[in-house]
């Protein structure tokens, strides 16, 4: 997989429905979705089988790989910044911290995020924190305030407001719904 991960022309692949290999990939994705929803014992093994099948179809149908050094550097910097966020999301974090992780200026960091993830770096951090809090809120022993603080929000009211804005309900409503 390493050559495909490093290729600079594979930011995404459009899968249609005209070719058999495309249909195979779409079917495998749907099958994985059903497996994940059902969560039968050892469903992970079947999901891995489908992922391998997807890779096999992609590789066998000759996607031409390109390696542009400038794009590889940009990709590496973005990965470093995302890695920093994913490792430090629960603490205090500034735009300067994220920029430093990618060895970029603050303005260039904002441009990278806007171009690649279509949002500002701090908006990405907030969304990531919300997603992490959703996992915590499923735990019956974790209350809303604890969940907010554990993912890096310093204010319960700010956490609730951002959660409602992102998810469409309060953290408490989500907690009750997920029981």
CATH number at residue 79: 1.10.10
Confidence of residue 46 (pLDDT cuts 50, 70, 90): very high
pLDDT tens digit sequence for 130-142: 999 999 999 999 9
* Domain range for 111: 69-121
For residue 69, pLDDT beyond 80:
no
Percent of the chain at pLDDT exceeding 90: 70
Residues 117 and 133 in one domain: no
Looking at residue 165, its pLDDT comes to 96
Confidence of residue 9 (pLDDT cuts 50, 70, 90): low
CA pair distance 98, 84, nearest whole angstrom: 7
For residue 29, pLDDT beyond 80:
yes
Residues 11 and 48 in one domain: yes
Residues 116 and 135 in one domain: no
- Can you read off the two tokens belonging to residue 148? 């907010």
Average pLDDT over residues 89-106: 96
pLDDT tens digit sequence for 106-131: 999 999 999 888 999 999 999 999 99
Number of domains comprising the chain: 3
Residues 132 and 109 in one domain: no
Looking at residue 74, its pLDDT comes to 80
> Measuring CA to CA, how many Å separate 58 from each of 15, 17, 67, 116, 120?
10, 14, 18, 23, 32
Average pLDDT over residues 73-79: 85
CA pair distance 63, 9, nearest whole angstrom: 10
pLDDT: is 76 or 157 the higher one? 157
Residues 115 and 129 in one domain: no
Looking at residue 5, its pLDDT comes to 63
CA pair distance 167, 175, nearest whole angstrom: 12
Using the 3D structure, point to which of 99, 121, 143 is the last residue of a domain.
121
Average pLDDT over residues 96-101: 97
């Amino acid at each position: 997989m390493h050559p495909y991960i490093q290729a600079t022309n594979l930011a995404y692949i459009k899968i249609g429905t005209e070719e058999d290999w495309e249909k195979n990939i779409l079917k495998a994705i749907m099958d994985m979705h059903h497996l994940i929803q059902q969560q039968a014992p050892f469903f992970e093994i079947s999901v891995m089988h489908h992922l391998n099948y997807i890779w096999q179809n992609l590789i066998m149908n000759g996607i031409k790989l390109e390696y542009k050094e400038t794009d590889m550097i940009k990709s590496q910097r973005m990965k470093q910044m995302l890695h920093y966020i994913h490792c430090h999301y629960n603490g205090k974090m500034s735009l300067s911290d994220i920029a430093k992780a990618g060895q970029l200026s603050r303005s260039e960091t904002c441009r990278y995020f806007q171009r690649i993830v279509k949002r500002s770096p701090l908006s990405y951090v907030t969304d990531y924190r919300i997603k992490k809090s959703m996992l915590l809120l499923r735990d019956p022993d974790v209350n809303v305030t604890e969940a907010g603080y554990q993912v890096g929000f310093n204010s319960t009211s700010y956490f609730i407001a951002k959660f409602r804005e992102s998810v469409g309900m309060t953290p408490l409503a989500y907690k009750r719904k997920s029981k």
